[in-house]
């Protein structure tokens, strides 16, 4: 189980590059929209959409990074004897801070790890949305310039 923790933690740490690239696409898109289309209502809505997408990406990135740090901790501290004890302590801590509902306690680690991967896939999807919005912004810019 320890090697699964290590591999997935390393994979989840790659989210920082995605977040940085997402910020670049967000700021370039916002700059173009604000610079070119400041007077229309649709540009205001588009800016809100871009900002919401960027904030969602940031939130998901925080969650992925948190999972990566937890997996690093479990990789360092775990062995077959104390993994159940550490997992119970983790569940208790997350419930105490209201970061996890009680229905999600006592899950096995395969389910937890697959949920980490799902979260990373969601981050990839949001990044793809940011790239798409940037491409739409460029398309509108060139369409307007023609």
What confidence tens digit (pLDDT) does each residue in 98-113 have? Answer: 999 999 888 999 999 9
Domain span at residue 77?
A: 2-145
Determine the Cα–Cα distance for residues 25 and 41; give it in Å rounded to an integer: 22
Cα-atom radius of gyration of the chain, to the nearest Å? 20
pTM: 0.88
What confidence tens digit (pLDDT) does each residue in 45-72 have? Answer: 989 999 999 999 999 999 999 999 999 9
Domain tally, the chain: 1
Residues 6+ apart with CB under 8 A from 51: 26, 30
């Amino acid at each position: 189980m320890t090697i699964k923790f290590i591999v997935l933690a390393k994979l989840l740490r790659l989210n920082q590059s995605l977040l940085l690239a997402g910020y670049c696409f967000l700021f370039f898109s916002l700059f173009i929209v604000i610079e070119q289309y400041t007077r229309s209502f649709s540009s205001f809505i588009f800016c809100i959409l871009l900002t919401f997408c960027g904030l969602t990406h940031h939130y998901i990135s925080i969650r992925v990074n948190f999972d990566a740090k937890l997996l690093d901790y479990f990789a360092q501290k775990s062995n077959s004897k104390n993994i159940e004890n550490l997992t119970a302590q983790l569940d208790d801590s997350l419930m105490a801070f209201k970061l996890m509902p009680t229905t999600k306690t006592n899950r096995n680690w395969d389910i937890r790890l697959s949920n980490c991967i799902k979260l990373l896939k969601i981050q990839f999807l949001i990044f793809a949305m940011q790239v798409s919005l940037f491409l739409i912004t460029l398309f509108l810019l060139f369409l307007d310039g023609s």
